Amino acid sequence: MLVPFDPAFFACQEAFHRRPEPPRNSGPWDAGPRDLGRSGPITPPTKTVNVPPTYPPSAIDDRIQGIVILEAVISHEGCITGARVTRAVDGRLDWAAVRAVLQWRFTPTLLNDVPVPVVMTVTVQFNLR
């Protein structure tokens, strides 16, 4: 498990554990909780903090490059609360990609104007120049 020692990361994690109240139906036409599954307008997340990965020196020496693909969970607060590698290149590059992505921040994803967590596919490219 990777836990970065970054105050912003811990602040995001605290916010993640204070989940918002679930949406409630209101009004005379509501049919009850079964309607909560209906989708409505979605506002996708926008990256607000980008931390580029650090290319490991040993991977540079070994001339390793490629694209690492991750699946990241963005909380209702816009924090990355989890990331897993779905396409690996090399352990060193994979680790660098995860460390970077865990520090990214996003605007919350909104569904019917309510912040919701989402899973997003992320690509991190490592190129030698």
Instruction: Give pLDDT tens digits for 79-98.
Output: 999 999 999 999 999 999 99
For the chain, strand residue ranges (E) read 42-43, 47-49, 66-74, 80-87, 105-106, 109-111, 114-116, 118-126
User: Which domains are delineated in the chain?
Assistant: 7-16+41-126 (3.30.2420.10)
Whether 32 has a pLDDT exceeding 60, the answer reads no
Phi and psi angles of residue 16, each rounded to the nearest 5 degrees, phi first: -60, -35
- To the question of pTM greater than 0.75 for the whole model, the response is no
Q: How much is the pLDDT for 34?
A: 46
Instruction: Give pLDDT tens digits for 64-75.
Output: 999 999 999 999
Burial of 114 (0-12, 13-18, 19+ CB in 10 A): middle
How confident is residue 62, by pLDDT bands cut at 50, 70 and 90? very high
CA dihedral 21→101→95→57, nearest 10 degrees, is -160
